[in-house]
Amino acid sequence: MESFMLKSSVSAAALIAALLVTPALAQTSSSPSAPANPTATARPAVSADQFVNQAANSGMFEVQSSQAAETKSQDQKIRDFAQRMVQDHTKANEQLKSAAGNHTVPTSLDQEHSSMLQQLQQASGADFNRKYVQMQYDGHEKAVQLFDSYSRSGDDNSLKQFASQTLPTLRTHLQMITQIRDQMSSPDRTASNNAGAKPGFVTNLQPGVWRATKLNGVDVYNANNEKIGDISDVIVDTEGKAKAVVIGVGGFLGLGERDVAVPFDALQWTDNNNNNNSTTSSGAPSRVVLPHASKDELKSAPQFKRS
């Protein structure tokens, strides 16, 4: 009887031990199936074809929008930035073509970027500056994310190398446009805070600054020193900037003239009227030249309608 009880006790102990060991064995045997590094098998966020398409559209937009900024913006910081963008992204676009290999590189903008470029082409003045800077900021943020992701997990070695080499330049561009954007917003805050402040006053005319009334009747010459007309009006925008000059062409003693408007910055303005002993201007430029147009070309140009 004692022998039977002893055997029963030993069997029970063995069973308990087996039950305790089994979960540990099960846990140990299942652990090797878990990956040691979850990111080791991560797939790229975009394929090679998608990367080429997105990078090419981004690069072409940077060049074309910045070419517009070089001619439309009067802000020197924006013009300098735009010139840098044309140079850097033209080079990057050529490097992308070399790295793409058999992948197709688009040669024209997609619908999204075409629409953005159209918005810029229709804008002017401060509105153009704001849109251009914001588009450059948004575009470079996306480009940095795209190139950073593909340089780490891309599926094409040549494109990965291109992304890695181009990424530092894109980050520099993003820093530059961020600084410009911050500087543009600062005057707005200052103006808002000083809305009730008294305006500054102008006490005299400095060289290169003229009275609009004095511009009326000033003769305009071409590059061959031939008189091609005279100024009859100046067109300004809501910010007070001169946008165009109306030139009366043809006729005799004011009779039979037709009005032609040309961009203000198409004219060359000379101010040699101020006296040596004075820093103030006479109020009118001493000479105005339209270098890239003849009298006959102005006669055949579209007429400006004052209405």
Alpha carbons 170 and 161: distance in angstroms, whole number: 15
Percentage of the chain modeled with pLDDT above 70: 72
Q: How confident is the model at residue 258 (pLDDT cuts 50, 70, 90)?
A: confident
Give residue limits of the domains in the chain: 44-187, 212-300
Distance of CA 290 to the CA centre of its chain: 31
Helix (H, G, I), strand (E, B) or coil at 110: coil
Q: Which residue has the higher pLDDT, 29 or 300?
A: 300
Q: Distance (Å, rounded) from C-alpha 20 to C-alpha 18?
A: 5
Whole-angstrom Cα distance, residue 193 to residue 137?
26
pLDDT, position 214: 81
Q: Tell me the average pLDDT across 264-292.
A: 67
Q: How far apart are CA 236 and CA 152, in angstroms?
A: 52
User: What secondary structure, in 3-state letters, does 172-238 show?
Assistant: HHHHHHHHHHHHHHHHHHHHHHCCCCCCCCCCCCCCCCCCHHHHCCCEEECCCCCEEEEEEEEEECC
pLDDT in tens, 128-176: 999 999 999 999 999 999 999 999 999 999 999 999 999 999 999 999 9
User: Cα dist. 58→54, 61, 140, 150 in Å?
Assistant: 6, 5, 9, 15
> At 198, is the pLDDT very low, low, confident or very high (cuts 50, 70, 90)?
low
Residue 166: closest CA among 86, 50, 83, 59: 59
Closest residue by Cα to residue 137 from 211, 85, 198: 85
Of 296, 240, 288, 242, nearest to 267 by C-alpha is 288
- Is 244's pLDDT higher than 80? yes
What average pLDDT does the segment 247-255 reach? 70
* Domain formed by 212-300, architecture: Roll (2.30)
Contact by Cβ (8 Å): 226, 295 = yes
- The long-range contacts involving 159-167, CB below 8 angstroms and separated by at least 24 positions, are 159/48, 159/51, 159/52, 159/99, 159/100, 159/103, 161/99, 162/95, 162/96, 162/99, 163/51, 163/55, 165/95, 166/92, 166/95
Across the chain, mean pLDDT equals 79
- pLDDT of the residue at 93: 96
Residue type, 61: F
Confidence of residue 230 (pLDDT cuts 50, 70, 90): confident
pLDDT, average across residues 278-293: 69
User: Which pLDDT score is estimated for 251?
Assistant: 65
CATH superfamily of 44-187: Ferritin, core subunit, four-helix bundle (1.20.1260.10)
Instruction: Report how far residue 272's alpha carbon sits from residue 207's, in angstroms, rounded to the nearest whole number.
Output: 9
What would the two tokens of residue 239 be? 């910010």
Question: Are 289 and 263 spatial neighbours (Cβ–Cβ below 8 Å)?
Answer: no
Q: Out of 26-30, 58-62, 98-102, pick the least confident.
A: 26-30
Residues in the chain, overall count: 307
Helix, strand or coil, per DSSP, at residue 252: strand
**Structure tokens given for 179:** 């600084």
The type of residue at 244 is A
Q: What is the pLDDT of residue 37?
A: 45
Least confident of 99-113, 118-132, 230-244, 247-261: 247-261
